[in-house]
Homo-oligomer: A and B are copies of this chain.
Amino acid sequence: MTPADTNRDRSKTEQKLVEAVGRVLARDGFERCGVNAVAREAKVDKVLIYRYFAGMPGLLKTYGESSNFWPTQAEILGEERQVLRLPQGERLEAIVMAILEALRKRPQTLTIMAWELVQRNPLTESLAQVRESWSRELTQEASLHPGASPEQAEDAVALANLVVAGLQYLLLRARTVSEYGGLSLQDDAGWQRIRRAIRLLGQGLENVMPEDTA
């Protein structure tokens, strides 16, 4: 009657390990997410990481594929893509704000994005690829091509991406620091200000690049 009762279940063990990765990652960060720590967290022997996942990189990879790190198109554009029918400025604002909210809901994604900036590994690598294709699709869907010149359209896309990049940066900073450039990152008031800034951007774009139907 040893404590090996119902333990003999490989898939269950694998799942335990994958979930443990998530917890360790969220609690202690990427740095402390090694074979020993994960095995401890999962209450499982570390050798099984080597057997079932061929080591930590493999485990990280399957973890990355298992969870829903990145928002879907539906989450950003709405189930029926209502957002796309908005006029250009409001559309930009809505999309950017949706991205912001989607990311705020995913602390683990943020953790990994932060680590992406510091070191490469299988997980950050694959996540980067996913995001690239994701953003390409989204840009196409959102189709910020007004009646203006194609160069201006390109610039507008670049500007939108730049702002999204800024949002991501602020989200990352918010995890450890309370303000940035006078913007408060902890309370809702700060994020409201950011929202207004984005609205201002939308208005500015409307003026410089009037929509063809307008």
Contacts and interface: CB of A to CB of B under 8 A. Distances in A.
A32 B164 CA distance: 31
Contacts of A198: 159, 162
Contact of A182 (B116, B139, B151): B139
A173 interface: yes
User: Which A-B residue pairs are the 3 nearest by beta carbons?
Assistant: A204-B204, A166-B166, A161-B181
A86 interface: no
A56 interface: no
Report the interface size class on chain A.
35 or more
Given A155-B196, A162-B194, A163-B163, A179 B132 contact: yes
A208 B204 contact: yes
Which residue of A135, A151, A159 has the most chain B CB atoms within 10 A of its CB atom? A159
A54 interface: no
Contacts of A60: none
Interface of A: 29-31, 114-120, 128, 132, 135-136, 139, 151-152, 154-159, 161-170, 172-173, 175-177, 179-183, 193-194, 196-201, 203-205, 207-208
A157 B182 CA distance: 9
B118 A193 contact: no
Contacts of A197: 155-156, 158-159, 162
Contact of A196 (B158, B172, B183): B158
